[in-house]
Amino acid sequence: MKLFEFEQHFPDEASCRDKFRQIRVKEGVVCPHCGNTHHYWKNSKQCFQCANCGYRQSLRANTVMHGSKLPFRYWFIAMHLLTATKHTFSATELQRQLGHKRYQPIWEMLHKLRSIMGKRDDRYTLKGNIELDEGFFSTETPDSRKGEKLKAGVGSQKKGKVLVIAESADVENAKPGMKPKKVGHIKMIVIPDLKATTIDGKAVSAVNPDSSIITDACSSHTNFKNLFGEHKSQVIDPKDIGKVLPWVHIAIANAKTLFADTYHGVKPEFLQEYLNEYCYKFNRRYFGEDLFHRLLMIGTSYQPDFEHRIYNSKAA
Ligand SMILES: [Zn+2]
Coil, strand or helix at 284: coil
- Ligand 1 centroid – CA 32 distance (Å): 7
- Ligand 1 centroid – CA 57 distance (Å): 10
- Ligand 1 centroid – CA 59 distance (Å): 15
Does the CA dihedral 93-99-104-107 come out positive or negative? Answer: negative
Per residue of the chain (316 residues), give pLDDT as tens.
Answer: 888 999 999 999 999 999 999 999 999 999 999 999 999 999 999 999 999 999 999 999 999 999 999 999 999 999 999 998 888 889 999 999 999 999 999 999 999 999 999 999 999 999 999 999 999 999 987 666 666 655 544 444 679 999 999 999 988 877 777 777 899 999 999 999 999 999 999 999 999 999 999 999 988 999 999 999 999 999 988 888 888 899 999 999 999 999 998 887 888 999 999 999 999 999 999 998 899 999 999 999 999 987 755 544 444 4
* CA 250 – CA 5 distance, rounded (Å): 33
> What local confidence, expressed as pLDDT, does residue 310 receive?
52
- Ligand 1 centroid – CA 48 distance (Å): 10
> What local confidence, expressed as pLDDT, does residue 313 receive?
47
| Contacts of residue 1, Cβ cutoff 8 Å, sequence gap at least 6 | 9, 80, 83, 84, 289, 292, 293
- For residues 210 and 229, is the Cβ–Cβ distance under 8 A? yes
- Ligand 1 centroid – CA 296 distance (Å): 24
> What local confidence, expressed as pLDDT, does residue 151 receive?
54
> What local confidence, expressed as pLDDT, does residue 126 receive?
98
* CA 278 – CA 302 distance, rounded (Å): 18
End-to-end CA gap in the chain: 26
The pTM (predicted TM-score) of the whole model is: 0.90
DSSP state of 260: H
- Ligand 1 centroid – CA 38 distance (Å): 8
- Ligand 1 centroid – CA 35 distance (Å): 6
- Ligand 1 centroid – CA 138 distance (Å): 47
State how far Cα 119 lies from the chain centre.
Answer: 8
- Ligand 1 centroid – CA 63 distance (Å): 17
- Ligand 1 centroid – CA 65 distance (Å): 21
- Maximum Cα interatomic distance, the chain, rounded to a whole number of Å: 68
- Ligand 1 centroid – CA 40 distance (Å): 11
- Ligand 1 centroid – CA 297 distance (Å): 22
- Ligand 1 centroid – CA 49 distance (Å): 8
> What local confidence, expressed as pLDDT, does residue 191 receive?
96
- Ligand 1 centroid – CA 18 distance (Å): 23
> What local confidence, expressed as pLDDT, does residue 152 receive?
47
- Ligand 1 centroid – CA 36 distance (Å): 5
* CA 215 – CA 236 distance, rounded (Å): 9
- Ligand 1 centroid – CA 42 distance (Å): 15
- Ligand 1 centroid – CA 41 distance (Å): 13
- Ligand 1 centroid – CA 30 distance (Å): 8
* CA 52 – CA 306 distance, rounded (Å): 31
* CA 70 – CA 60 distance, rounded (Å): 11
> What local confidence, expressed as pLDDT, does residue 316 receive?
46
- Ligand 1 centroid – CA 51 distance (Å): 7
Q: Write the DSSP string, 98-133.
A: HT-S-SHHHHHHHHHHHHHHHHHHHT--B-SEEEEE
What is the set of domains in the chain, with CATH numbers? Answer: 3-121 (no CATH), 125-290 (3.30.420.10)
> What local confidence, expressed as pLDDT, does residue 40 receive?
96
